[in-house]
């Protein structure tokens, strides 16, 4: 966002506020599509940011849904069932039954355990319906099926109940090493070859999480053009012909977000300058353990030269010594009412924040249209009712 847009939003809407720039979001998707091979389709993991899901509907072929709540979000936004990947390490039986009984258009379900496999078979039998599935291969953690169990599921499958379309694989995020991506793709290609040659199973689809990195701090260095060119070369070198989907969350969402928070108080204690903000780590928790140890990308409004100013520690509004967003930031003439705009906050911040802590209100959410006009899509929400015990 421009400095003028930040100033106008802070003035007209107040803080704390998340702003998700839909123009930036759509340009980001266009960029990724232009840098990846045509055979690759994208899937957006809505856990990264539910608020931009509707804006992606027309340009995103798939959406990863990991809970009944996320499904309700997509349902409210009229996301077609055919675009939905019903995923998640825990699938409640009631939710799966609801989908199978009421919706025949769900794109695909994932299988992460023997228990989920049995559940989907049972529901398919109850509903007299064949359910489309992907088998998730574990990367060595609590997610997915062990390789042997995955092969066993294929060998013992009843095709009248489950249409096993292929494999899902996701090994983590913030992966900047092409060597690691090559090892993963080689492993998946070898597995797909083995399944066809030794088990007669033709993999029609591979959903893969490349974990494209998003960088939040000054000094981070990453040549994304070169990385995507290298990844595209790896994809072009694959001899498997199945449909290939890249599942992305922060890689799509991060750059479109800006979080605005204002200075509401300032003080000097034992030689250290502290600025108290109306936001805090409950809104920017994704910066996590690196927060306050590194300098995030941000702007200060009104703008000024920060190189020779007094040094300030930016602290949030929570009553905990851990609520420090930035340490030792030079700011010339810092004043109550100044606004800090934290950039690249489009992924996870508003979802993973410990927003119920101390019963602070949830921030309002704005969408900034391509015409530059902000629109409120969620009002500020009091959280204290959720923390109040019932007395009757």
Distance CA 21, CA 19 (A): 6
Distance CA 280, CA 324 (A): 7
Ordered DSSP codes for 257-289: EEEEEEEEEEEEETTEEEEEES--TTTSGGGGG
Backbone angles phi, psi at 113, to 5 degrees: -165, 165
Could you give the percent of the chain with pLDDT greater than 70? 94
What are 98-132's pLDDT values in tens digits?
999 998 899 999 999 999 999 999 999 999 999 99
pLDDT for res 220: 79
Q: Model confidence at 383, in pLDDT bands (50, 70, 90)? A: confident
pLDDT for res 81: 97
Comparing 37-51, 117-131, 305-319, the range with the smallest average pLDDT is 305-319
Distance CA 79, CA 341 (A): 31
What are 144-186's pLDDT values in tens digits?
999 999 999 999 999 999 999 999 999 888 888 999 999 999 9
Ordered DSSP codes for 329-378: EEETT--TT-EEEEES--SSHHHHS-TTGGGPPBPEEEEE-TTS-EEEEE
Distance CA 366, CA 357 (A): 23
Distance CA 295, CA 186 (A): 37
Distance CA 18, CA 129 (A): 43
Kindly give, in sequence order, each residue whose CB lies less than 8 Å from that of residue 208, ignoring residues fewer than 6 positions away: 168, 169, 170, 184, 185, 188, 244, 245, 246, 247
Place of tokens 């003035």: 11
Cβ neighbours, 10 Å, residue 25: 24
Q: Exposed, middle or buried, 380 (CB in 10 Å: 0-12/13-18/19+)?
A: middle
């Amino acid at each position: 966002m421009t400095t003028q847009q930040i100033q106008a939003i802070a003035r007209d809407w107040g803080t704390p506020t998340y702003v998700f720039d839909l123009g930036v979001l759509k340009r980001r998707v266009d960029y990724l599509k232009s840098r990846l091979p045509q055979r690759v389709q994208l899937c957006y993991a809505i856990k990264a940011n539910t608020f931009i899901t509707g804006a992606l509907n027309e340009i995103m072929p798939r959406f990863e849904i990991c809970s009944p709540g996320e499904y309700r979000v997509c349902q409210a936004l009229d996301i077609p069932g055919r675009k939905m990947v019903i995923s998640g390490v825990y699938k409640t039986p009631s939710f799966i039954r609801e989908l199978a009984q009421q919706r025949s258009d769900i794109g695909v379900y994932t299988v992460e355990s023997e228990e989920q496999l049995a559940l989907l078979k049972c529901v398919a039998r109850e509903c007299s319906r064949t359910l489309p599935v992907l088998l998730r291969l574990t990367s060595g953690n609590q997610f997915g099926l062990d390789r042997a169990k995955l092969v066993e599921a294929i060998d013992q499958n009843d095709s009248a109940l489950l249409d096993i379309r292929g494999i899902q694989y996701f090994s983590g995020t913030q992966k900047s090493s092409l060597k690691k991506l090559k090892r993963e793709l080689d492993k998946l290609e070898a597995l797909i070859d083995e399944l066809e040659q030794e088990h007669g199973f033709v993999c029609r689809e591979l959903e893969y999480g490349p974990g494209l990195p998003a960088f939040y701090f000054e000094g981070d260095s990453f040549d994304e053009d070169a990385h995507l060119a290298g990844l595209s070369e790896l994809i072009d070198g694959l001899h498997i012909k199945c449909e290939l989907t890249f599942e992305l969350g922060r890689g799509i969402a991060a750059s479109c977000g800006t979080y605005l928070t204002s200075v509401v108080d300032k003080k000097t204690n034992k030689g250290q300058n502290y600025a108290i903000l109306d936001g805090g780590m409950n809104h920017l928790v994704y910066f996590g353990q690196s927060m306050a140890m590194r300098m995030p990308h941000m702007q200060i409004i009104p703008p000024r030269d920060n190189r020779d100013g007094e040094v300030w520690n930016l602290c949030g509004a929570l009553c905990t010594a851990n609520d420090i967003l930035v340490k030792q930031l030079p700011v010339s003439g810092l004043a109550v009412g100044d606004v800090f705009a934290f950039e690249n906050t489009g992924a996870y911040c508003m979802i993973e924040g410990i927003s119920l802590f101390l019963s602070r209100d949830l921030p309002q959410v704005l969408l900034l249209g391509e015409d530059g006009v902000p629109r409120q899509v969620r009002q500020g929400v009091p959280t204290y009712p959720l923390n109040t015990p019932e007395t009757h």
